[in-house]
Amino acid sequence: MFGQSREVQQTLKFMSLEIRNLHARIASNGTEILKGLDLIVEKGKVHAIMGPNGSGKSTLSKVIGGHPDYEITEGEILLDGTSVIGMEPDVRSRAGLFLAMQYPMEIPGVSNANFIRAALQARLPEGEELEATDYYANLYSKMDGLEMDRKFTARSVNEGFSGGEKKRNEILQMLMLAPKYCILDETDSGLDIDALRIVAGGVNSYRSPKVGMLVITHYQRLLDYIVPDIVHVLVNGRIVRHGGKELALELEERGYDFIREETAA
Amino acid sequence: MSTELLDAPATQLDIDRSRGDFVYPESHEFDAGTGLSHDTIDYIATVKNEPEWIREFRHKALDTFLAKPMPTHWASHDLENIVFQNIRYYLANAKRPTRSWEDVPDDVKKTFERLGIPEQERKFLAGVEAQFDSEAVYSNIKAAVADQGVIFTGSTEGLIKHPELFKKWFGKVIPTGDNKFSALNSAVFSGGSFIYIPPGVKVKHPLQAYFRINAENFGQFERTLIIADEGSEVMYMEGCTAPKFETATLHSAVVELVAMKGAKIQYVTVQNWSNNVFNLVTKRAIAHEEAEVKWIDCNIGSRLTMKYPGVVLKGRKARGEVISIALAGDGQHQDTGAKMIHAADETTSNIVSKSISLGSGRSTYRGLVHIPKHLKGCKNNTECDALLINPTSRTDTYPAITVRGTGNSSQHEASVSQISQEQIFYMMSRGLTEAQAMSLSVNGFVNDLVRQFPMEYSVELKRLIDMEMEGSVG
């Protein structure tokens, strides 16, 4: 891919989230959604996946996360060289994968602070306790960065949150859990321009040579704020085109149809 | 209405209850043997050295018990599996309750340790009436509480040493013939607490009792009577845990509370019976003018629990409340609820019930609220919420609310919910195991009620729920 030598590819394997010839279907009815998808998200890079509705964008994020609704029939998902296929979603998460969801779930009665704390606690070795003062100091500073009111610590996870608040809360969790690979699924949906700026600011603050990101979006707008290194176009369960950030602009201008036509041709 | 969910997560939860179960060897100095007859009654009354009126009371109660049919026309037919002749009705370690912690036998101490009652907590207990088998083994009242004139003893000591007080209220809130199991308890009761709070005395520390069954085929029939005199306040806490046995065990308590004018009683129960126990308990209070009675009740475990704490709101402006949490594990049936009998003007009652059913567990809410026509300004609020974990889990709600007259009101809300697969995936994608995710959501569901429990109980409760969920998924 991109003319890398075999040696470079070997090294990359241990510093990347690699998806190889991935085929996945809906478990309940056998409908195939991903049809041989290839993608390498290296540490330090931000990849964007764009695609029309129904192309398989959200399915891709769920399959990487280990959602039980989908079955992998062929291919590999390698996290720093280790296959995650067959791993439970929580094992993948603790291994350094994070999924910012398009529709974050509400968990009544469980406070945001306790939830994030439990998630962090789950990463500690048996018998080790999370230091409460450090935890809250860290939580508050991350919340300040996302311009989240302190009252969100005591509120039940996502319950009664506006669309924008939910997305901010996803990014808060990402920053707190400090994953190696982040998959942001339609993080821009439901955001007004101010919220988009804040959320993108949070994501950008986390960009580093140690983190790989995969930004899934339908619209180019998000990519004005989170500028990707590489843009992929997903159509009908396959990556059909790669390019720089200008590809996103082209898509915005011409729509997805020209790619569909090209692919069909 | 009966609700069975089809859309719950497909994973089966199997409860491994063995982790909370344990047995220490025991010997009993007094043993009434198995079976129930007038001879059994005489044995108990003789061993306990009881006055003649109690012996008569017991014999009459036995006749009532034998004459009454099982309540299976409305309740679970599982009751018919109780073989009364296979049950031991009286066992005791020693003749008298010991007075100080030093006197408590080592193996009993060991059991308390195993029950997880923290060392320093014991010290802070205002008075402990721990029931170990049928007889109080350890009973202690802090000097400060006794100085205020508070009586906190076992029921036997209460009826012998304080006959006037005891006789005045014993069996008056819950008459022998109230139901078959109150009659059984009246016939064979032993252990339980007798508490009297003098007028105006506000007991600062909660009075605690730990109950425990530790003998096979043995029914526990404690009898508790609490009288809070005018303007007094008391909180009583009981917690139960029992080891696991092959054959069914019967627990049938009677608890009577009397709150005189302006008195306040809070009665807190956290129960965690092993899954072969029939837990059939009658709890009722009388609240006089401006008195407040609050039952806070948590039922975990048992094979079948039937318990409907009630308050008879007898005086003007009396207030009754039942806050209850029930967790029905695989093969268990929690049949719980509340009764509020309004019998004076401007009385108010509040019922909040939350139940969780997992595996093939079933939880039933039964509520009775009665506000007659001639009363004015009475209010009731009833909320019952059920959470179903598995497709095989079940919940039923039977609210019977009768509100007559023009100046009275009642509001009732009920809900049935489930933890969705999407919620579990969401939590797992943050690194929590499936069991942790379940546990967190179940704790979240009951969180607002758990907060009403005293601090140490809310911690214990969270631990109990975690234990139920631990290793229960997959």
pLDDT at B108: 52
Q: For every residue of chain B, which 3-state class applies, written as one string? A: CEEECCCCCCCCCCCCHHHHCCCCCCCCCEECCECCCHHHHHHHHHHCCCCHHHHHHHHHHHHHHHHCCCCCCCCCHHHHHCCHHHCECCEECCCCCECCHHHCCHHHHHHHHHCCCCHHHHHHCCEEEEEECCEEEEEEECHHHHHCCCEEEEHHHHHHHCHHHHHHHCCCCCCHHHCHHHHHHHHHCCCCEEEEECCCCECCCCEEEEEECCCCCECECCEEEEEECCCCEEEEEEEEECCCCCCCEEECCEEEEEECCCCEEEEEEEEEECCCEEEEEEEEEEECCCCEEEEEEEEEECCEEEECCEEEECCCCCEEEEEEEEEECCCCEEEEEEEEEECCCCCEEEEEEEEEECCCCEEEEEEEEEECCCCCCCEEEEEEEEEECCCCCEEEEEEEEEECCCCCEEEEEEEEEECCHHHHHHHHCCCCCHHHHHHHHHHHHHHHHHCCCCHHHHHHHHHHHHHHHCCCCC
- Does pLDDT of B286 surpass 60? yes
Distances (CA, A) of B140 to A144, B87, B102, B239: 53, 30, 11, 17
| All residues at 6 or more sequence positions from A257 whose CB lies less than 8 Å from its CB, including other chains | none
Tell me the pLDDT tens digit for each residue of A221-251.
899 999 999 999 999 999 999 999 999 888 8
- Determine whether the interchain pair B440/A123 forms a contact, defined as Cβ–Cβ distance below 8 Å: no
**Do B426 and A94 make contact, defined as CB atoms within 8 angstroms?**
no
- Give the strand pairing for B193-197 and B223-228: parallel
Q: Which two tokens stand for residue B49?
A: 């050295």
A87 and A64 in contact (C-beta within 8 Å)?
A: no
pLDDT confidence band for B132 (50 / 70 / 90): very low
Q: Which of A90, A104, A106 is opposite residue B428, by nearest beta carbon?
A: A90
Kindly state whether A90 is in contact with chain B, defined as any CB-CB distance less than 8 angstroms. Answer: yes
In this prediction, residue B219 carries a pLDDT of 52
Q: Which residue has the higher pLDDT, B459 or A2?
A: B459
Instruction: Specify which residues A32 forms β-bridges with.
Output: A25
- Nearest-angstrom CA–CA distance, B225 and B171: 9
Measured between CB atoms, does B416 come within 8 Å of chain A? no
Q: Which of A69, A106, A118 sits opposite B432 (nearest CB)?
A: A118
Q: Name chain B contacts of A101, Cβ cutoff 8 Å.
A: 426, 429
Q: CA torsion, points A179, A182, A186, A192, in degrees to nearest 10?
A: 60
Question: Which range, of B60-69, B391-400, B458-467, averages the lowest pLDDT?
Answer: B458-467
pLDDT-above-90 percentage for chain B: 55
Residue A16 has pLDDT above 50, yes or no: yes
Distance between CA atoms of residues A50 and A70, nearest Å: 21
Average pLDDT (A169-190) is 96
Query: Chain B: residue nearest A95 by CA?
Result: B431
Kindly tell me if the per-residue pLDDT of B110 is higher than 90.
Answer: no
Q: Please classify residue B69 by burial: count the beta carbons closer than 10 Å to its beta carbon, then call 0-12 exposed, 13-18 middle and 19+ buried.
A: exposed
Name the residue facing A88 among B426, B428, B447 (closest C-beta). B428
Residues of A in contact with B447 (CB under 8 A): 109-110
Among the partner residues B429, B431, B444, nearest to A110 by beta-carbon distance: B444
Give yes or no for a contact between B213 and B220, defined as CB atoms under 8 angstroms apart. Answer: yes
Residue B28: band (very low, low, confident or very high) from pLDDT cuts 50, 70, 90: low
Q: Note the CATH number of domain A6-107+180-264.
A: 3.40.50.300
Of B91 and A174, the one with more pLDDT = A174
Any A CB within 8 A of B427 CB: yes
Structure confidence by residue, pLDDT tens digits, B377-421: 999 999 999 999 888 999 999 999 999 988 899 999 999 998 889
| Mutate: best of A103, A105, A155, partner B, most B CBs <10 A | A105
Q: In terms of pLDDT, which residue wins out, B111 or A235?
A: A235
Query: What is the overall mean pLDDT for chain A?
Result: 92
A124-129 average pLDDT score: 89
Over residues A206-221, the mean pLDDT reads: 94
State mean pLDDT over B171-176: 97
The values of phi and psi at residue A87, to 5°, are -80, 145
Q: What is the β-pairing status of strands B151-154 and B193-197? A: antiparallel
Quick one: CA dihedral A85, A91, A93, A97, positive or negative? negative
* Phi, then psi, of A44 in degrees rounded to 5: 90, -5
Q: Which residues of A touch B441 (CB under 8 A)?
A: 107, 109-110
Mutate to test the interface with B, among A59, A61, A107, A120 (most CBs of B within 10 A): A107
Residue B110 tokens read as: 């060991």
- Closest partner CB to A93 (pick from B422, B430, B446): B430
Judged against a pLDDT cut of 50, whether residue B1 lies above it is answered with no
* A68 or B73, higher pLDDT: A68
Which residue in A93, A108, A173 is closest to B444 by CB distance?
Answer: A108
pLDDT band at B272 (very low <50, low <70, confident <90, very high): confident
Sign of CA dihedral A217, A218, A223, A229: positive
pLDDT recorded at residue B406? 86
In the predicted model, is pLDDT for residue A111 greater than 80? yes
Residues B179-228: tens digit of each pLDDT? 999 999 999 998 888 999 999 999 987 787 654 344 434 458 889 999 99
* Residue B427 Cα, gap to closest chain A Cα (Å): 8
d(CA A183, CA A169): 15
What is the distance between the alpha carbons of residues A260 and B17, in angstroms, rounded to a whole number? 58
- A104 contact B CB<8A: yes
* CA separation, residue B431 to residues A65, A173, B288 (Å): 11, 11, 53
Q: What is the arithmetic mean of pLDDT over A175-179? A: 98
> What is the rounded CA–CA span in Å between residue A64 and residue A99?
9
Residue B14: its pLDDT value, please?
39
Residues of B in contact with A114 (CB under 8 A): 440
Of residues B274 and B344, more confidence is placed in: B344
Contact A107 B427 (CB under 8 A): yes
Minimal C-alpha gap between A104 and chain B (Å): 7
Provide Rg for chain B, Cα atoms.
Answer: 22
Partner residue facing B426 (CB), from A101, A114, A116? A101
- Position B127 scores a pLDDT of 33
Which of B420, B421, B433 comes nearest A90 by C-beta? Answer: B433
The pLDDT assigned to B279 comes to: 93
Q: How many CB pairs under 8 A join A and B?
A: 81
A228 contact B CB<8A: no
Which residue of chain B is at minimal alpha-carbon distance from A178?
B430
pLDDT score, position B246: 38
pLDDT score recorded for residue B292: 98
Amino acid at B169: W
Whether the CA torsion A191, A194, A200, A206 is positive or negative: it is: negative
* Strand, coil or helix: A41: strand
Q: Do A110 and B443 touch (CB under 8 A)?
A: yes
Distance CA A19, CA A41 (A): 8
Share of chain A above pLDDT 70, in %: 94
Model pLDDT for residues B412-455, shown as the tens digit of each residue: 999 999 888 999 999 999 999 998 999 899 999 998 898 888 77
Q: Is A253 helix (H, G, I), strand (E, B) or coil?
A: helix
**B301 vs A229, residue with greater confidence:** A229
pLDDT of B7: 38
Q: Say if residues A152 and A114 touch (Cβ distance below 8 Å).
A: no
> 3-class DSSP state for residue A138?
helix
β-pairing, B292-301 vs B319-328, is: parallel
pLDDT band with cut points at 50, 70 and 90 for residue B98:
very low
Domain boundaries, chain B: 2-25+95-469
Q: Report the share of chain B in percent with pLDDT over 70.
A: 77
pLDDT class for A258, splitting at 50, 70, 90? confident
The minimal CB distance from A122 to the residues B425, B431, B444 is found for: B431
For residues A202 and B1, the model is more confident at: A202
Mind telling me how many Å the CA of A170 is from chain B's nearest CA?
Answer: 10
Neighbours of B450 (CB within 10 A): 23
pLDDT at position B109 is 58
Kindly list the residues from chain A whose CB atom is less than 8 angstroms away from the CB atom of residue B428: 66, 88-90, 93
A87 touches chain B (CB under 8 A): no
Side-chain-side CA neighbours of A164 within 13 Å: the count stands at 13
**Per-residue CA distances from A176 to A11, A17, A172, B170 (Å):** 28, 20, 6, 59
Give the three-class secondary structure for A86: coil
d(CA B121, CA B101): 13
Cβ–Cβ contact B452 with A under 8 A: no
**Confidence at residue B459, expressed as pLDDT on a 0 to 100 scale:** 74
**pLDDT reported for residue B15:** 38
3-state secondary structure of A49: strand
Alpha-carbon gap: A232 to the closest alpha carbon of chain B (Å) = 25
First and final C-alpha spacing in chain B: 30
User: So what's the pLDDT on residue A10?
Assistant: 60
- Please tell me the distance from the alpha carbon of residue B317 to that of residue B378, in angstroms, as a whole number: 9
Work out the mean pLDDT of chain B and round it to a whole number: 82
Distance CA B99, CA B122 (A): 14
Q: Is pLDDT above 90 for B301?
A: no
Q: What average pLDDT does range B18-43 have in this prediction?
A: 70
Angle formed by the axes of helices B52-67 and B38-47, nearest 10°: 150
